[in-house]
Amino acid sequence: MTLIQTKILLPKRRKHILRRERLLNFLYEHLDRQLILISASAGYGKTSLLVDFASDVDFPICWYTLDETDRDPRVFLEYLIASIERVFPGSMAETRRALAGWGGEFNPDAFAGLLVNDIVLNIPDFFMVVLDDYHLIDDSVSINLLLDAFLRRQPENCRLVIASRTIPTLTPRGMALLVARQQVVGLGVNQLRFTPEEIQQLIRQNYGQEITPEQAEALARESEGWITAILLRHHRMWQGLIGDLVQAQEGAGSLYNYLASEVLDRLDPGRQEFLLQTSILRVLSPSICDALLGRSDSQAMLEDLEARNLFTIRVEEEGQVWYRYHRLFREFLQEKLRERSAGTELALHLRAARLLEQEGDKTEAIHHYLEAGAYDDAARVIEEIAAPTYDAGRIETLQHWLNALPEDILDQYPRLAWFMAKLLWTQDKVHESIQFADRARLAFERRNDPVGAAQALIEKSAVLRVRGRYAEALEASRDALDRLQTLSEETRASAALTLAGAYRNVGLCHYQMGEIGKGIQELRKALELYQQAGYLPNLAQTHSDLGVLLRASGNTAGARHHFEEALAIWERVGNPLGMATVLNSIGVTYHHQGEYQKALDIFSMALRRAREAASDRLSGFILAGIGDAYLALGDAEKAMDAYRESEELAERAGDTFLKSYLMGVEAVAYLLQGNTAQALQLAREAFERAREQHAQREAAMYQIILGAIYSELGRHPRAIDLLRQAEESLRAGGAEQDRTRALLHLAMAYFRAGRIDEALRTLEQLADALLELGQYHFLRVDARIARPVLEYAAARQVGGRLIADLTEMAGVEPVSVAEGESTEAAPPAAVPPLRVYLLGKTRVFLGDQEIPDKAWQSVKARQLFCYFVVHRQDTREHVAALFWPDSTAERAAGSFYVTLHRLRRALSIPEIILSAEDMYYLNRELTIWCDLWEFERLVKEAEMHQRQGRLDEAHSLRVEALKLVRGEFCADLPDMEWISLRRHELTYTCDALLREVVRYHLRRQEWGEALQYGQQMLALDAFDEEAHRLVMFCQAKLGQRSAAMKHYRSLVRSLQRQEGAEPEPETTALYERIVERAPDLSLEF
């Protein structure tokens, strides 16, 4: 798919845009909200406001301008990914990979999860996504669901802005939740209207004119603050403007038309004609304009229109130049062209369509053919690209095209009716899908196209089969086969893929109806044809189908071979849906062999792939397999959790087979728990559904469960009758593995009925069947239910080693899943402890790893973290004013949110700073150690011990506190008021501590220790003469008389050099006594 780059380029800020501070401040102030809506009718400056905002912020903006083609979820995701990757290259790799492999129905939850994961893992920055002109796709249910799911899990570093002419609903429930959580805010018409002051500024800025406040007030009143009225008017002189506006005012629409007409009418005819005729194009290139209009000067004309500021936007990238008209202006031009000559408009669309078709841009060609009413041409081109469009997952695009065609055209183009049947099936519209399949068949028959008719029948068969209507599905596929068999050998060879599809459908219908042998035969025919054609996707599918049927027949080795072949093909193709399907089958195989942990590991891989492929149906099947594995392991609670999640997906996907299967396995789970009433209700419903759908194998499986329940309830004749019927049906259908389940429960029913000999004979038959199959672990759950009869038979050596092994397996305690290997998402790992050092150069450790400087992205983020560590909590308003004093309150708030994100991202702990309303606080539930906190604790404890007379303890605590001080508080951070205040406080506290420690050592005449701490005092204040006297005194006491005198002389020089002062008298007196060698040297400290 070729992307139109103009849609994802951030428009450049044009010099005429007025800076609307009040609205910019609103956006800054609400950067904490997940969603910002900007909604007003055309011409109120929504886009200009966002462009101005994008040019002002210091974080990245991902821009996406929408148009009508974007209502298709694949197209929307392609552009959304491209928009984000323009700013963060390669960041959306997993979402892009899943989109490339997406086939089938669209799963908004799965794709929203992929988007969230890619953002969380690959984008460290705070950023914003802008969706402009959202009203053009607001009717797309799929996209609304996608954005709703995304907003429910939106990453903390991402903000979404939607600009629209209407108020986007997304989903009513989702919007209500955002409102309830105060995570959505909006700007509407009332806020976007230009105020008189803004109108004055606009006219002064753009036109060098001054108008009075009264004129501005009148203009605001008459235009109702509608910016387009003012912008369009700038092509005339401003004299007499107010009077013109008053005369023209009959509502916003007429005012707009009046002003716009004057803009157009004042241009020369050549420019008028160019504008009107090129307005049919959504994107303008000089070459297309030249070809469309038969001229050679379109490049110069477009440059001239841009220079004249005639609502022509230029976009350049990698040497290519495109133009587009402002959407509102283009709509006006199209309306004028239509008024002047509808025939000219249609002719231009037709000419554009043919030009674009010749250039290979068939998507745009279809748009213009449809606009021209050239439905035959549109249908012809749609038919050419319908298959690749469908295969690419652009379902809604194809649906939009087909819906735009008249009904009779679909009958003339049966291939399109066939695609409509496929599309309706993906939307769960079964009745309508079958109707269109029949219409396609009839149309193909009228064209004498038996291959097309067969394809329509196969499509109908596939719909009926998935809906559980197996007899009808089989009839439709056989009808297709009959038609294909009548073809000549040459024609049949060219229709090999269609013939293979018919065989595959017939085979799957036989399997569902309990005829496994016939199913295998038909699938092998299909496989041979797909191998000859080399069509890998269907070849892989058929390998996988054969594996399932062979496993059901007991041929495990054959099943594994086909699963491995299928997996190899899907890996080569790179299709996550195919890989998930085969991995699920392999997981089931491991389960049947008793390797439950391996099965769970494989299921976990399969589930990830299925979610990547956004397949509810397959995810549901895999979750059912996970539930089965947990049930075999004896963990009924986890099994039921998996079954319930599978139920939700089965309901969403409308898969009747899966819904019935879940009823059956849940019935078994309830039976194991002793809840026979609930078990019986579910098993009966599942059995009735299967019988109504003529699904003999399924019906037999539910008969087994019903027989086991009736046996438990003591209704032995009913149990035996049901189990006999099930065993006979499965034996006739070749379902040997399932037949062994019937035999085991039949033996138990005989045993409970007192018919011991028949029970033992049935177990001998079971042993023979299991010996033939070569495995028995798939009976683990059934063996628990039938444990009494197994123990009885094993004690009498009936059935040999196999029955003994089954008995042993039935008595084994439930196996625990190895720790750390659960398929469920592991609970979040405990956050490693944080260590924060503030007393010196700031350092932060998460566990043993130091947070590097670059991780913070800005010094402000590190400062903000340190602030919350020191102050624990504060209001956003106060913090913002403190950190960004030169910004407006609103901009400071925006900077606060961005910096807060960077802080959280640096630490990889989103919950490090929590909030309640406007109060933000450090999360003290986390394990955090801080040297400042420890310092303050030690100081307080020392004071307490001091008061209680425990001087030694107080001293030890003070020494420990001082060891924590490595330098000045937050020494590496730029100075801020709060940092300066805290530095002064800590300097004072450290000085007081040092004095107490010195006094302690002086009392004990520990001169060396006192000298050490005195020198630390001087490190805090080099001119603290009391500390200088302490050093001199201790040096003298230690016999270092010359050092003491030298210290004094150094002090004298420093005082004279720095302050022109002399030492204090006490200092000089001490010096003189040291010189005199006074024996009674003393110090007051």
Per residue in 268-326, pLDDT (tens digit) is 899 999 999 999 998 898 999 999 999 999 999 998 887 776 777 777 766 678 888 87
Residue 607's contacts (CB-CB under 8 Å, 6 or more residues apart) are 580, 619, 622, 623, 626, 823
* Helical residues (DSSP H) of 800-871, grouped into ranges: 800-811, 859-871
- Out of 3.30.910.20, 3.40.50.300, 2.30.130.30, 3.30.1130.10, select the CATH number for domain 5-192: 3.40.50.300
The helix/strand/coil state of 547 is helix
Residue 936 contacts residue 944 (beta carbons within 8 Å): no
N residues, the chain: 1085
Res 262: pLDDT: 58
pLDDT band at 241 (very low <50, low <70, confident <90, very high): very low
Residue 358 contacts residue 381 (beta carbons within 8 Å): no
Per residue in 814-857, pLDDT (tens digit) is 444 443 333 333 333 457 889 999 999 999 999 889 999 989 98
Per residue in 256-272, pLDDT (tens digit) is 454 455 567 778 899 99
pLDDT band at 428 (very low <50, low <70, confident <90, very high): low
Res 894: pLDDT: 86
Task: Give me the chain's average pLDDT, please.
Answer: 86
Gap between the Cα atoms of 421 and 455, Å rounded: 11
Q: Looking at residues 122-151, what average pLDDT do you find?
A: 91
965-1075 matches 5-192 in CATH topology: no
Yes or no: is domain 415-534 CATH 1.25.40.10?
Answer: yes
Burial (CB < 10 A; 0-12, 13-18, 19+), residue 653, is buried
pLDDT band at 156 (very low <50, low <70, confident <90, very high): confident
More confident call, 338 vs 264: 338
Residue 998 contacts residue 1010 (beta carbons within 8 Å): yes
Q: Which CATH class is domain 538-654?
A: mainly alpha
Nearest to 995 by CA among 981, 1022, 1023, 1016: 1016
Q: What is the pTM of this model?
A: 0.57
In the chain, the amino acid numbered 707 is G
CATH node for 965-1075: 1.25.40.10
Q: List phi, psi (to 5°) of 339.
A: -65, -40
Is the pLDDT confidence value at 237 over 80? no
Is the pLDDT confidence value at 1044 over 50? yes
3-state helix, strand, coil in the chain (%, to 5): 70, 5, 25
Gap between the Cα atoms of 1034 and 1030, Å rounded: 6
pLDDT band at 227 (very low <50, low <70, confident <90, very high): low
Gap between the Cα atoms of 534 and 898, Å rounded: 54
Domain spans of the chain, in order of start: 5-192, 197-265, 415-534, 538-654, 656-826, 834-931, 965-1075
Res 260: pLDDT: 52
The helix/strand/coil state of 837 is strand
Per residue in 394-416, pLDDT (tens digit) is 778 888 999 999 988 988 999 99
Q: What's the CATH superfamily of 656-826?
A: Tetratricopeptide repeat domain (1.25.40.10)
| Encoded tokens for 904 | 């959280």
Res 290: pLDDT: 94
